[in-house]
Structure 1
Amino acid sequence: MRILIDARVIQDHFPGIGRYAFNLIDALAPLLDGEALVLTAKDARNTRYDLARLDRHPNVERIPIDIPIVHPRSQTALPGLLRGLRPDVMHFLYNVRPLRVSAPSLLTLYDVIPRRFPNYFSPLTRWKIEGVQRLALRASQAFLSISQATARDFATFYGVAPERITVTPLAPDPIFHPRPSAALAAFRRRQGLPDVYLLYLGSNKPHKNLPRLVRAWKAALDAGLGQEAQLVIAGHWDPRYPEAREWAMTLGLVERVQFWGPVSGEDLPWLYGAARAFIFPSLYEGFGLPALEAMASGSPVGASRAPGLSEVVGESALTFDPTDIEAMAGVMLRLMRDAGLRSHLRKAGLARAAQFTWQRTARLTLEAYRALL
């Protein structure tokens, strides 16, 4: 079987999807009974992943091309290039994909944020996104979904038949594992982090629910949480959504909330592991990979009951209604105060995270490829 994977998403502009692409290909290659042709972006900035690692697989042929993902040449020049490679199955990892191809194709589905949160986008942008999504769905013969929740959403919002969707959950990167406590303490000192902090990692887009997170932190502090504790909010910051910072200032939390911004790949597992606990209050997630990474790093987790996220954490985290500030504050207090609970959640989280592997994802993906032949 000759598989073609459009992995041009392995670049800094697509951090989440790029991680999925890289780890999937790395785990898939040893399972293939044929060849994997892997398209990568020739000149795109990539500081996260060592593509030479993929080259070390003898059945992976990496093909750098200078056709950007979002470009007319993806529809004009790319189909001819793909035809010449003569794959048996094509796998597209982003919904901007060539529409006319010469082999059966799969498309990976992540979430329906434009449908669930239309106010993120102008009417024109929504129209463009909707058109691209529908064209990509129409051009694909089968689909991979990162969660049952996402599969249900595409069935509900786009009418995709459930039998055409294979659920292939994500997994934590192998870099996420527990570290020695002394090394974590040294990391905190080196980074100027407090000895006791509750961590959130993700973007600040509205569905991430950060204004309620900050307000819940205030409620937890008012309920007697220790004066040494701080909330660390890390991850990409979109200046269009300043509400969390504004709430921190309004509530007098400037000294009790740190806004870290983006975190390097090297520091990320340490930031998870050095936290007293991790909290993820999203209103919606297609999957919720940061919660899984935190568990794999040995951090006790509190998480909202958003459907995709609930699939990830199972019963291995404290959960709460993301719209209930008091309930969220109560989870914060329990996570920060109860050492016995943290020990239990740490063990449960590590066991839960171990159930999600890229090898399993690769096996499910390979079965979906074979079903198209």
Structure 2
Amino acid sequence: MTTTTPIIVLDLRTVQDHFPGIGRYTFHLAQALAETAPAWRFVMLTQPGAINTRFDVTGLARRPNVTLHAVSQAIFSPQEQITLPRDLPPGDLVHFPYYIFPYLSRRRTVVTIYDIISHLYPAYLPSALHRVVFEITTRLALARAAHILTLSTSAAADLQRVYGVDPGRITVTPAAADGRFRPASADAIHALRRRLGLPPRYVLFLGANKPHKNLLRLVEAWAKLKAQEATPSAAAGVSLVLAGREDPRYVGIRAAIAQAGLQNDILVLGAVSEADLPVLYSGAEVFILPSLYEGYGLPVIEAMACGVAVACSNTSSLPEVVGGDAGVLFDPADSDEMAAVLRRLLTDGALRTTLQQTGLARARQFTWQRTAELTLAGYEKEF
């Protein structure tokens, strides 16, 4: 540990609308680091030209140990590699919360790697060129960084198994739901239902429409649920709501809904404001995350924190997130099993109540202060 006041340069350029999940992680980490380590100094890189409608980055500078440092170099731009290294402010470490960063910089670097979805499911990338670029940049990030942060032991194990990363170079720093995520009042739920045109009863999915999110199979499971004889006691009057930013590179979900004749049973809501998310979660009878792979799965914790019964895949990090009894797990490759889990949750009110209670308790085990403490411990390994 350095004997002087540590100075950390933290890159906030992902706090923009293009990075919904990573931006949320980065912003709340920045807040928690400043609050948890008042004796440390944090110089936070911002990109004023980026579109950010969700988070008050300028408000971070109200803390005495935070300085904002504006840069013009955008993520993915050539300038990021060429000119950003010379524009980085002084500090003991630079933390890039995204695997694309200036690889030629000579500064001591920490990087957050969330998952290796693109390696495990390369067919889901838009083209062969994207696959090559992902592999090269991931390997550059892992080789260049002095230390690697990741959000789950599952993701850490993947980095060790696939890329041979020394476990001593990895620190696991689970994220948390921020304090706004708590059960909403009936009045707030009613108001949001009217404003967004939400159905009276719904199962909620929240996330991007990327292929690994497995939405096509979720639609297939919903069609099976609706077609089963038990429908009157299971899914009658219940709709499926798909919320989250729609990536224009991945199309087909709306066509699949139409082909299955489910236009009146599935609502594609699109992006939802940060202010509305806790109420949207709270109004759901069930939250479902059918992903084939998740490096962490923060929406599961947010749903549990809002008192919603959770069903999710039994793969990658998700069993680790829900713990032993805070959610019902299923095989994401099996639409019959997915439909059966939904039917069980929609018909068994006692089970939903139990999951609501265990989920609330489970969510309280994750805090941004703890995330910050683990992150600081990762930093300290490199001083």
Q: TM-score, normalised by structure 1?
A: 0.95
TM-superposition CA deviations, 1:256-305 (whole Å, max 9, x none): 11111111112211111111111111111111111111111111111111
Q: Distance in 2 between matches of 1:16 and 1:126?
A: 21
Residues 1-373 of structure 1: pairs in structure 2 closer than 5 A: 1-32=6-37, 33-82=39-88, 85-121=89-125, 122-221=127-226, 222=228, 223-224=230-231, 225-314=234-323, 315-373=325-383
The Cα shift of 1:320 comes to 0.7
- Find the aligned partners of 2:379 and 2:370 in 1 and give their Cα distance: 14
Question: What CA distance in whole angstroms lies between the structure 2 residues aligned with 1:171 and 1:365?
Answer: 13
How far residue 67 of structure 1 moved from its aligned partner, in angstroms, is 1.4
RMSD of aligned Cα (Å):
1.5
Structure 1 residue 147, shift from structure 2 partner: 0.9
Instruction: Give the whole-Å Cα distance in 2 for the aligned partners of 1:180 and 1:319.
Output: 28
SS at match of 1:86: coil
Q: CA deviation at 1:3?
A: 0.9
Task: Give structure 1 stretches of 5+ with no counterpart.
Answer: none
8 A contact 2:215–2:253 mirrored in 1: yes
1: CA distance between counterparts of 2:213 and 2:27?
A: 25
Deviation at 1:245, TM superposition (A): 2.8
Aligned residues: percent identity? 46
Q: What's the offset of the Cα at 1:129?
A: 1.7
1:71-103 per-residue CA deviation (whole Å, 9 max, x = no partner) reads 222222222222xx3211111111121223344
Deviation at 1:240, TM superposition (A): 4.7
Aligned mates of 1:87, 1:108 — CA distance in 2: 18
SS of equivalent to 1:267:
helix
Residue 69 of structure 1: SS of its match in structure 2? coil
Greater shift after overlay, 234-243 or 246-255? Answer: 234-243
- Do the aligned partners of 2:245 and 2:271 also contact (CA within 8 Å) in 1? yes
Amino acid at match of 1:156: R
Sort the Cα spacing of 1:136 and 1:266 in 2 relative to 1 into closer, same or farther, 3 A. Answer: same
Distance 1:226 1:320, change over 3 A: closer
Taking the aligned partners of 2:294 and 2:372, their CA distance within structure 1 comes to: 22
**Whole-angstrom CA distance in 2 between matches of 1:90 and 1:345:** 41
C-alpha distance in structure 2 between counterparts of 1:65 and 1:104, whole Å: 19
SS of 1:307's partner is coil
Moved more, 119-128 or 13-22: 119-128
Q: Which runs of 4+ in 1 moved over 3 A?
A: 100-103, 238-244
Shift of 1:41: 0.6
Query: For structure 2, which runs of at least 5 residues remain unmatched after alignment?
Result: 1-5
